[in-house]
Amino acid sequence: DQSVRYLTARYRFGPGEDILEPLEDGLSSRIRFTIELCERREGLFAFLGDPVVNEERVEYIGYRDFFAGVFVWEDEFGGRSTFASPREFLDAFRTLTRYPLPEPPPGSDHERFYIRVRVRINQVELTPPLTLIYLISRSGIYESEWYTVEDR
């Protein structure tokens, strides 16, 4: 009997309240949660690292709607929420809530698999060709280390 497991992750590195500055200037920000299902490699080839079996990404865009006087949170699936409070917006923008974790292939030894997560934020979301700026400077881009999800 396998039940679905969920992940809730909160972004706690890089900018805090200063992430709101570009939004107040009329720009947007993007946050990406990358979730990977990995299989532990054992034996002679363990030095090659653990292969990624499945990778999924969830992205949110945040911006300020000056006409309505609210902060807007949008996800890639068409979800949209508005917040009058900057604090409530920040909490929603920086949190991935109840995301269903990928499962190992059927019939495999589940003990060999684990989930890891990385978070990346672009404080200012640029559109191509302006993204070429990132070749020169990574300012405003914050990326976490990989974190292993415990209690798999």
pLDDT score of 108: 85
Task: Going from the first residue of the chain to its last (152 residues), give the mean pLDDT of each consecutive group of 10, the final group possibly shorter.
Answer: 78 68 86 93 83 94 93 91 92 90 86 91 69 57 85 52
pLDDT score of 1: 39
CB 96 within 8 A of CB 76: no
Residue-wise over 77-107: b if at least 16 C-beta within 10 A, else e?
Answer: eeeeeebeeeeebbeebbebeebebbbbeee
pLDDT score of 3: 77
pLDDT score of 20: 80
Cis amide bond preceding 102, omega within 30: no
- The count of other CB atoms within 10 Å of the CB of residue 4 is 8
pLDDT score of 137: 57
pLDDT score of 150: 67
pLDDT score of 134: 55
